[in-house]
A and B are shown apart, each in its own frame.
Chain A
Amino acid sequence: MTDTVTSTPAARLPLRQRIDLPVVTAFACIVLLLILGSLYSPNFLSPQYLLQQLKVGAFLGIIATGMMLVILLGQIDLSVPWTVTLGAMMGCAAASWGPAGAALAIPFGILCGVAIGLVNGFGVAYLRIPSMIITLAVNSVAQGLMVAYTGGFAPQDSAPYPMKFLGALSSLGFGIPNAVLVWIVVGALAVFLLTRTSFGRAVYGIGNRETAAYLSGVPTQRLVMIAFAISGGLAAFGGVLLAGYAGKAAQSMGDPYLLPSIAAVVLGGTSILGGRGSYLGTVAGVILITLLQSILSVMQMQEFGRQIIYGIIIVAMLLLYGRDKRLR
């Protein structure tokens, strides 16, 4: 108390403390998987195959970006499956409205997702309904709407050109898929949002302790709603791209993306309780899961084996770096 501060204190932590264990572990595992894969098949490390992996991963990556935002707040978004599907179906539906429709297909699909996210966000922020249950209900409603819309059949609209352009094609040369470029852009925006804007700062603050954020005069409820809206929009965007990749939308196409998106975020070091995590970790988590899934298929392991190994690896990695403090 008698010491005076004579020089301005350091702005960065020493290197040792700055290294994020989960991110490093995740990347280490990625390297491991690449080595393992190359042992099984010489093509594994070929640029085409790796780019294909990145392309497949890009869809999960965009969805996981939205999920990360929500998890940072200390919430969860279980409406991803049908938000993805709804975005895809609405995007394709827009195509049937003529050339103007095709041009607006992507924004329209995303906007539908934003609308879903706003409902989620309103329920969580203003009605204080636990996010697990409100997003579950909204997922069901979205499913209901889509099932009613298509009459239960596979949707007939095929994806309009803009969706195919982004989802399936590669235009930059060197075979780099457009979807990967989209993910890079989305990711860059996410990083900027989280680290350089007051919104991002507030998200971490709310996830850490909403009471303190509220008493600091931050409009916590509005920001939570906006975060869910962004997440919904990103999930729908993922659906739009997926439809572009496949050529059309399909019932339940979003189902395989819920649990992997949560796992990718958590494996990347983001705490499921909120307030902590970096986007780099999410990127690592997405690539890790994508590689894992593809190695298991390269090894021609049957589906059941893949599921079991998938689960075991997630538990193992969490035990490595996700543990809570002891009570004593």
Chain B
Amino acid sequence: MPNSEPLFRMEGISKRYGGVRALEEADLEVWPGRVHAILGENGAGKSTLIKVMSGVVAPDAGRMLLDGREVSFADPAAANAAGVVCIFQELSLIPDLTVADNIVASSPPKRFGMIDRAAQRRLAEDALRRAGAEDIHPSALVKDLPLSRRQMVEIAKALARKPRILILDEATSALTSNDVIKVFEVLKRLRSEGIALLYISHRMHEIAELADDCTVFRNGRKIATYEAGTKTDSEVVEMMIGREYHHVFPPKSGAKQPSDTPVLEVRNLSWSPRLNDVSLTAHAGEVVGLGGLDGQGQRELLLALFGVLRGTSGQILIDGKPISIKSPRAAKSPGIGMALIPEDRKTEGLMLPMSVRDNLTFAAMSQLSRGGIIDRAAERSAIDEMIRLLAIKTDGTAVPAGSLSGGNQQKLVIAKWLLRRPRIILLNDPTRGIDVGTKQELYQLLRRLADDGAAIILYSTDYDELIGCCDKVLVMYDGAVRRKLTGPEITERALIASALNIDAEVREAAQ
């Protein structure tokens, strides 16, 4: 440890939301010129910690010290003024304003009481250059930019505020691989300039490359702080989940006979510019994985299959027959029998204020009602069956879905679809932000569903999942299937190499 005072210290910070203890007596020390990584499962308190640090929420107890003096931030503006700047996942960009407006939003340069547009533009260009994003035009509207560009604007915005402490909350999840490299250069340069960096990420290889110190949180408490590289990955995961951890994946069944008619076949599916000539097959009992970096078209592929995208070209065949799917309603109809577990369970999968019961039965209303009138008995038994089957922990079925934990919410989304006994199940990164225990349950469930005859397409950003669950993996890059890996070919090396589009490594890994 460097022999100076910590730049920033949190002592005994606690925060409750209703009955949930998000943070309990949390401590943290942040030193200048070092990158401090924060690890932990979702719900461990990382987000709340950051929100307290950056003035978004007020702690219930505890104190924060900056340069040894106690501080408290009334709002994000106050935190910024003190030099604590947080880069969010694009929550802080105003869509209808320009890039330049957004970058200087919190303290725009003024002349005669009005905003000085020329000075603002110069500041914006400067910040964009420092962030390595010179290609972004300062007068473009933020809402017209793709997600990765918006994240870069967010980074530029943070840099423009001349931070002493820079917090990155999953800031790289939306970036292309080129951007990630550039951003890392920027971060390393900031570190050498003496700025303290706080980095939250689930990506272990990023943390390995960047971090100097690491702190693990679990259940709102700090578990340990250590220098990066002094603990193995499994030791770290153990600290994160609190018990001995083994990757447990249910055994896969044998390879499918290629003579079976695939339940789902896709031929030359295109949707410019995000999908380029995608073809795949999925047989009954098969778990097909979609891999690759974020934003390579995996989400669009699932949406296209589910009938959400307009203007797709190519063919989709169900049981060998070409079918045109125009809406989720058509996709879930008995003849096709598709289900989609969407990316964001809070906004796309559930209606959080509505009850568990209402959410669970929402996709299966037609089979639970006669002539439009709900059959309460049938509803009751279907709900009970699903809750038992998936072991959903809930305080009754009348409570709002929002009161469930993340893992149970995801189970609720899955249960909603399982009520329809779908033959084709599409899952969009279902275990993102889910605790490890629930993940295990979901892996078991997926294998069981496959064994019962469903064809499953699983998009995951977790390599272990792709390796452990899938019979074959299609790695996507730039909207096309770059490589298909089957059976023993699915290794982390091959997945990463294909994802980064590195031919040499792919050949090597295949040997």
The reply, when asked whether chain A contacts chain B directly with Cβ atoms under 8 A, is yes
Residue of A nearest to B440 (CB): A1
Q: Which residues of A contact B81 (CB under 8 A)?
A: none
Q: Do the beta carbons of B362 and A218 come within 8 Å of each other?
A: yes
A:197-254 near B, CB below 8 Å: 197-199, 201-202, 204-205, 208-209, 211-219
Q: How large is the interface on B (under 10, 10 to 19, 20 to 34, 35 or more residues)?
A: 35 or more
**A208 and B351 form a contact (CB under 8 A):** yes
Contact with A along B354-368 (1 / 0, CB 8 A): 100110011101101
Q: B398 contacts which of A12, A214, A219 (Cβ < 8 Å)? A: A12
A11 x B437 contact (CB < 8 A): no
A5 contacts partner chain B, Cβ-Cβ < 8 Å = yes
Given A1-B441, A209-B351, A212-B350, the answer on whether A198 and B393 have CB atoms closer than 8 Å is no
Interface string of B116-152 (1 = CB under 8 A from A): 0000000000000000000000000000000000000
Chain B contacts for A2, CB-based, 8 A = 437
Greatest chain A CB density within 10 A among B331, B350, B351, B384 is at: B351
A16 part of interface (Cβ distance < 8 Å): no
Question: Which A residues are CB-close (under 8 A) to B407?
Answer: 1
Q: How large is the interface on A (under 10, 10 to 19, 20 to 34, 35 or more residues)?
A: 20 to 34
Q: Does B20 contact A (CB under 8 A)?
A: no
**B339 to chain A: closest residue by CB:** A217
Q: Is the CB of B396 within 8 A of A219?
A: no
Residues of B within 8 A of A217 (CB): 327-329, 331-332, 363
Q: Is the CB of B58 within 8 A of A219?
A: no
A13 to B352, CA, bound (A): 16
Q: Is A5 a contact partner of B387 (Cβ separation < 8 A)?
A: yes
Q: A3-B393, A10-B398 are in contact. Are A201 and B351 (CB under 8 A)?
A: no
B residues near A216, Cβ cutoff 8 Å: 328, 362-363, 416
Q: Does B247 contact A (CB under 8 A)?
A: no
Query: Is B372 within 8 A of A197, CB to CB?
Result: yes
Quick check: B342 and A205 within 8 Å, CB to CB? no
Closest chain A residue, CB of each to CB of B438: A1
Residue A42 interfacial (CB < 8 Å): no
Whether B398 pairs with A205 at a CB distance below 8 angstroms is no
B239 within 8 A of A: no
Q: List 12 A-B contacts (CB under 8 A).
A: A1-B435, A8-B388, A11-B396, A11-B398, A197-B374, A198-B365, A198-B366, A198-B374, A212-B347, A212-B350, A215-B348, A328-B75
The 9 closest A-B pairs by CB, nearest first: A1-B437, A10-B396, A198-B365, A208-B351, A217-B332, A216-B363, A13-B398, A217-B328, A217-B329
| Chain B interface (Cβ < 8 Å from any Cβ of A) | 56-58, 75, 306, 308, 327-329, 331-332, 340, 342, 347-354, 357-358, 361-363, 365-366, 368-369, 372-374, 380, 384, 387-388, 391-399, 407, 416, 435, 437-438, 441
